[in-house]
Amino acid sequence: MAVIAKYNASASTVPSSVINTLRLLKNELFEIEDVVSVVLFGSYSRGNYGKNSDIDIAVFVRNSASGKLLMLYRQAVRCAAKYKYDIQILMFTVQALDAPVGIVEEIVAFGQDISYI
């Protein structure tokens, strides 16, 4: 299983207002059934974000049937919609980390696990 680096506050260029939002969002996301990790990826994770950048969040959940996964995804999107930032949620089962392909490869390579912030 691929391992995603933990968020490193001392090496981050993410503004504190965004970090505060991510902390609140992360707490809400962990209230959703089966969520096991929340990962910041994309331009904010790489440090090349701009004023119009969205915030990309990957949510990894335990094994879930596709119908249940859709329900969990909708809950996560509703959580993200509460904030003033453009937050884009992608959801995957943890099995996607066993053999990462496509966007999951980018999440593994550049993502930062914010589950602990």
- DSSP-based three-state secondary structure for 55: strand
The total of other beta-carbon atoms located within 10 Å of residue 14's CB is 18
Report, as an integer, the average pLDDT of 10-28.
93
Distance CA 46, CA 12 (A): 9
pTM over 0.85: yes
16-29 and 66-80 helices cross at what angle (nearest 10)?
140
Instruction: Tell me the pLDDT band of 20, cut-offs 50, 70 and 90.
Output: very high
Residue 66 has pLDDT above 80, yes or no: no
For the chain, give the mean pLDDT: 94
pLDDT at 12: 85
Distant-in-sequence, close-in-space partners of 80: CB < 8 Å, separation ≥ 6: 25, 57, 87, 88, 89
pLDDT of residue 57: 99
- How many residues are present in the chain? 117
